[in-house]
Structure 1
Amino acid sequence: MNTEIQHINESERKINIEMPQEETQKYFEEVLKKEAKKLTIPGFRKGKAPLSLVKKMYGDALFYDNLDKIAQNKFWDEMDIQGIEVLGVPKLTDLDLKEDGGLKFEIQFEVYPEIKIDNLEEIEVEKVEYEASEKFVENMVEFVRFELRTEEPADKIDSMEYIVTLEKTDIDVNESKTPEKIPVYLKNSSVNPEFVNLLMNKNLNDEFETSIPLAIKKEETENDENQTSTSRYRIVEIKKITLPEANDELAVNYSKGKISTLEELKKALVDAELSYYEKQETDQLRNAIRDAMIKKFSFTPPPTLVERYASLMEKELKKKYKINELPMNILSEVKRISEDNVKWDFIRNELKKKFNLSLTEEEIDAYAQKISEKNNLEKEKVLNYLYSDKSGLLNELEEDKLFDFILSKIKVIPKKVTI
């Protein structure tokens, strides 16, 4: 018997096997035993006819009809002998019965790719480090002052210290549509200054029409310039607001006594906001690391797994947008994302395997202890929950361990950003 395995890429192989007549017949005998059990021959119960009789009556037909099964059986035996783990369903790409009764065939199959993880220090990613500007701190204090404002009804708008509730009706739209109620704080930076000027000196229940947009548009396109619409507004409520002074008393009132000075309040506000930004940056940094590692350790992922990922994504998108078919550009993006997901799964598993990054019992126990102390729960109950199917906390903990390890090896370039 001759056997040759060709490497198509990191995840796909092709094997050529040439079986002599004796071996081909040996495999056919095994197939014949199974096929004989399905046959009914007059004078015998189903599957009980002697094998010699079945072979005499149907041998040639069964032999030719089951050449693919003979090839597949031989293929799987060969995989067991060589210790190759096959992914998906192998494809019989060529089959030839030789004149001497031997069988020659070719099968293409997928395997788990071999990935070499090394030289992590060559990977570079950028990490944004945020710092708060004086203007940012001022805005945070203004937000607190606004939260603790006092309000009183008014009949006229004569300054910026008002919250005005407007009823808006788009004139170009069906008049029967219910007007939209919009509260507007005149000092809000997102409100169009031209619109604010329009409101000055107007009274309760005044009505007016304008094409000036209420909010400032972040980005303006040619279409926006050409698609101005007129709206009708009615002032349905005016509230005069008074903001508290920015002092230590503000800090005490806002924190309900937990903070005693304005400077402490500023620090607490900035720390909380920067924590949010840093959380967002952590997610972005992990995505950057993932992309950099996929690029460095690139390989062809097994098509079967890519197709599986893509199929799930397609179903979710069709369900979400209630459509039967996805556009070609979306399908291309789905395929790209699916390939990256499969690549990352293999890279991540190889990292865990090579550097022993799976969670240890000690780490899980310490994590359970931390949760139990923080939430006043029995440690045993916490452990049971962590190991249950409902909890994804251990996956998150293992992911944290993985990225902490990667960050300790790669080069992280800080980038200062002032907000």
Structure 2
Amino acid sequence: MNITKEQVDALNAVVTVSITEEDYKPQVDKVLKDYRKNANIPGFRKGAVPMSLVQKQYGKAVLADEVNKLLQNSLNDYLKEEKIDILGNPLPKVDEGFDWDANDYTFEFELGLAPEFSVDLAAKNKIVKYDIVADDEMLNEQVERIQKQYGKLISKEEVEEGDDIKGVFFNEEEGINNEVTISTDIFKSKRASKKFIGKKVGDVVTVPTKGLFDDDHKLMEYLKVDHDKAHGLEINVDFKIEEINTTEPAELNQELFDKLFGEGVVTSVEDLKGKIKEDAEKQFAQQADQKYLNDVTEWLIEETKFELPAEFLKKWIQTAGENQLTPEQAEEEYAKSEKGLRYQLIENKVMTENDLQLNIDELKAYAGNIIRQQMAQFGQMDPTDEDVDNIVTRVLSNQDEVKRLSEQVMSQKMLELFNEKVKHKSKEITYNDFIKQIQG
């Protein structure tokens, strides 16, 4: 056997694999002998079928199968030994004159080569890393929400601003009939809100769907219409009032504090706000980290310049799935996946250059922490190590879970690396302003 590589250009090559009869004949003969031992052909005892008949019936198929196995194994070994970094898989070049009756065979494969490039994490950029704080406005809103959530529900006869209204949205022609509980402040339309003021149980209020909420997707929730119908829906819907309630806010006393956080943990309104601030900012930190990670990713894709073997990859995409794609479909798929492929190459480069690796102990520890957090949410505050280890073992027996958790751990490692090496500006910001920043 002989394998050679011809460099077409920096990103494309052709590998030629030449196979002689001596390379495949011993294995083909062995397989055919095994076939002979087990063949059931009428007129012959098992194991006594003439070899010529076995050869005639199975020879071509066995030959093709064994040559293809030898070809794939040899090609894979060659790529590893020569340390040839490829994208996609080798693509066999079609040979219209190929003849299985010959003794020696030659196969050619197109290769798409991974580009050479460098990644400069310390390069100048405009990336901002946000420190999201819970301001007084947010803390006061959260205290009011808690007071309402744990307050006393009082039935009313007439709707006033801020009341909870239970009823049914309906429109017979459009098949809408959905029971919900709403408040007048959910509407974007002030005119719609005012229509409910002063209404009583049994009254029907008609409102237009256009501009009713700040997001048409809310029509899916409140009217139970599908996604396509919700967008641009312009009809009138009726709301029949069934109940009117208001909430008497709960007192901010020790009984409420103990119910929320356990006995004696919080003893004052200031303690309560401090606890809310602490819990909120932990969650905010995760969102800020994710935005920072996204921003660094986008910056690296934009600033790290290299060419890809685009034409090869489009040809490979055509044959990579279960169904053959047309050139036009492959072009579309390539356009969708190019950005992700670029970042995958960049990420692999960064991981290699910074020796970022993942071992099983780290994965087990990470899974164990998640499981302890989940158990705590259901009141199991102090599970035994044995219980947690047993759950971890079950979780890590699922390959999909292993992949998902591995990606999360590596994402955390990348975040830590970016925090250390990527130059960025830090900025303190309120949560509402952070949301505005995300929305652009």
Unaligned runs of 5+ in 2: 33-48, 55-63, 99-103, 218-228, 373-380, 433-440
Residue in 1 that maps onto 2:122 = 121
Residue in 1 that maps onto 2:317 = 307
Contact 2:91–2:316 (Cα < 8 Å) also in 1: no
Q: State the Cα RMSD in Å.
A: 5.3
Contact 2:119–2:346 (Cα < 8 Å) also in 1: no
Q: Distance in 1 between matches of 2:119 and 2:188?
A: 54
Aligned ranges for residues 358-369 of structure 1 at < 5 Å?
Answer: 358-359=357-358
* Change in CA separation of 1:415 and 1:189 when aligned onto 2, cut-off 3 Å: farther
Indicate which of 241, 245, 263 corresponds to 1:239: 245
Residue in 2 that maps onto 1:204 = 201
Q: Which amino acid aligns with 2:291?
A: Q
Q: Report the 3-state secondary structure (helix = DSSP H, G, I; strand = E; otherwise coil) of the residue aligned with 1:268.
A: helix
Superimposed CA distance per residue, residues 150-181 of structure 1 (whole angstroms, 9 cap, x where no aligned partner) = 11222223x3352221222125425xx6x322
1:121 shift after superposition: 0.8
Indicate which of 396, 409, 413 corresponds to 2:425: 413
Q: Which amino acid aligns with 1:6?
A: Q
Q: Distance in 2 between matches of 1:199 and 1:144?
A: 25
Larger Rg: 1
Residue in 1 that maps onto 2:355 = 356
Indicate which of 357, 369, 376 corresponds to 2:384: 376
1:402 aligns with 2:414: yes
* Change in CA separation of 1:350 and 1:112 when aligned onto 2, cut-off 3 Å: farther
Q: Which amino acid aligns with 1:195?
A: A
Q: Distance in 1 between matches of 2:204 and 2:133?
A: 45
Indicate which of 127, 138, 141 corresponds to 2:140: 138
Contact 1:249–1:261 (Cα < 8 Å) also in 2: no
* Change in CA separation of 1:130 and 1:146 when aligned onto 2, cut-off 3 Å: same
Q: Distance in 2 between matches of 1:256 and 1:191?
A: 38
Q: Distance in 2 between matches of 1:2 and 1:212?
A: 69
Q: Report the 3-state secondary structure (helix = DSSP H, G, I; strand = E; otherwise coil) of the residue aligned with 1:269.
A: helix
Q: Distance in 1 between matches of 2:414 and 2:231?
A: 50
Number of equivalences:
368
1:132 shift after superposition: 3.0
Residue in 2 that maps onto 1:267 = 274
Residue in 1 that maps onto 2:192 = 195
Contact 1:167–1:182 (Cα < 8 Å) also in 2: yes
Contact 1:165–1:183 (Cα < 8 Å) also in 2: yes
Aligned ranges for residues 1-80 of structure 1 at < 5 Å?
Answer: 5-10=6-11, 12-15=12-15, 27=20, 45-46=50-51, 76=75, 79=78
* Change in CA separation of 1:353 and 1:309 when aligned onto 2, cut-off 3 Å: farther
* Change in CA separation of 1:305 and 1:385 when aligned onto 2, cut-off 3 Å: farther
1:15 shift after superposition: 4.8
Q: Distance in 1 between matches of 2:284 and 2:318?
A: 35
Contact 2:188–2:214 (Cα < 8 Å) also in 1: no
Q: Which amino acid aligns with 2:183?
A: Y
* Change in CA separation of 1:126 and 1:14 when aligned onto 2, cut-off 3 Å: farther
Deviates more, 1:396-405 or 1:247-256: 247-256
1:134 shift after superposition: 3.1
Q: Which amino acid aligns with 1:307?
A: I
Q: Distance in 2 between matches of 1:309 and 1:407?
A: 40
Aligned ranges for residues 99-114 of structure 1 at < 5 Å?
Answer: 107-110=108-111, 113=114
* Change in CA separation of 1:216 and 1:294 when aligned onto 2, cut-off 3 Å: closer
Q: Distance in 1 between matches of 2:162 and 2:81?
A: 81
Contact 2:7–2:13 (Cα < 8 Å) also in 1: yes
* Change in CA separation of 1:339 and 1:305 when aligned onto 2, cut-off 3 Å: farther
Deviates more, 1:383-392 or 1:196-205: 383-392
Q: Report the 3-state secondary structure (helix = DSSP H, G, I; strand = E; otherwise coil) of the residue aligned with 2:385.
A: coil
Q: Distance in 1 between matches of 2:182 and 2:397?
A: 49
Superimposed CA distance per residue, residues 161-207 of structure 1 (whole angstroms, 9 cap, x where no aligned partner) = 52221222125425xx6x32221233x35564323322222222123
Q: Distance in 1 between matches of 2:80 and 2:320?
A: 33
Q: Distance in 2 between matches of 1:143 and 1:137?
A: 10
Contact 1:165–1:235 (Cα < 8 Å) also in 2: yes
* Change in CA separation of 1:2 and 1:280 when aligned onto 2, cut-off 3 Å: closer
| TM-score using structure 2 length | 0.62
Q: Report the 3-state secondary structure (helix = DSSP H, G, I; strand = E; otherwise coil) of the residue aligned with 1:122.
A: coil
1:224 shift after superposition: 10
Q: Which amino acid aligns with 1:211?
A: P
Q: Distance in 1 between matches of 2:24 and 2:203?
A: 91
| TM-score using structure 1 length | 0.65
1:292 shift after superposition: 3.1
* Change in CA separation of 1:334 and 1:286 when aligned onto 2, cut-off 3 Å: farther
Indicate which of 290, 309, 312 corresponds to 1:283: 290
Q: Distance in 2 between matches of 1:383 and 1:156?
A: 55
Q: Distance in 2 between matches of 1:89 and 1:352?
A: 25
Deviates more, 1:389-398 or 1:361-370: 361-370
1:342 shift after superposition: 3.9
Superimposed CA distance per residue, residues 16-49 of structure 1 (whole angstroms, 9 cap, x where no aligned partner) = 79xxxxxx8x9366567888998xxxxx943599
Contact 1:115–1:347 (Cα < 8 Å) also in 2: no
Unaligned runs of 5+ in 1: 18-23, 39-43, 50-64, 98-102, 316-324
Q: Distance in 1 between matches of 2:413 and 2:80?
A: 38
Q: Distance in 1 between matches of 2:319 and 2:93?
A: 24
